[in-house]
Amino acid sequence: MKAQPTQLGLYTPKSSSSPTIVRALSHLAKPAVLITLAIGMYLHFTRLFIGTELLIKYIYTATFDTVFAIPMLFGVISFLPAWKHIVFRNKFEKVAVAITGVYFLASVPLHLQTWYTQSTDYILVFPLWFSLVFLTYSSLLVFVWWRLKIVAES
């Protein structure tokens, strides 16, 4: 396929900051995901010991949930640029990381809605056994993300 000539006036070169931003976002993905998973695991672990009502009353407040959405949002924003730079060892890692991206993307609106409603009562919908499932699933994701290698060209 032959390259098409461009007219000088119509061509705008890409900004040199674009690769820098992509590189920075790629390096933010791993810590953002691990921090979010760690906070989520803390909440679910605590819920198993003190119950949902006490968790909502003393720990999982509207302010906490709104702040909790920040690393999750960073994880979502940095996920796509990082995807091209992740060195996957096998298909399992690739699937686990893809599931993390979808999971975070679905979770962000749920956690951001707390900012509008100032209520975390939505977690009452989830049964207590969900925390066990979450802790198992999150432990696996932490293991996968901890071992991931993200390589960004310099």
Q: Domain range for residue 55?
A: 20-150
Which 8-state DSSP code applies to residue 88? -
Task: Work out the pLDDT band at 3, boundaries 50, 70, 90.
Answer: low
The radius of gyration computed from the CA coordinates of the chain, to the nearest angstrom, equals: 20
Question: Which residues does residue 87 pair with via DSSP β-bridges, in sequence order?
Answer: 149
* DSSP-based three-state secondary structure for 14: coil
Q: Is residue 143 part of a domain?
A: yes
- Give tens-digit pLDDT for 51-74: 999 999 999 999 999 999 999 999
d(CA 82, CA 84): 6
Q: Is residue 6 part of a domain?
A: no
Q: Is residue 8 part of a domain?
A: no
Mean per-residue pLDDT for 84-107? 94
* DSSP-based three-state secondary structure for 62: helix
- Give tens-digit pLDDT for 138-152: 999 999 999 999 887
Q: Does residue 49 surpass a pLDDT of 90?
A: yes
Q: Is residue 2 part of a domain?
A: no
pTM equals 0.84
Q: Is residue 49 part of a domain?
A: yes
Total domains in the fold of the chain: 1
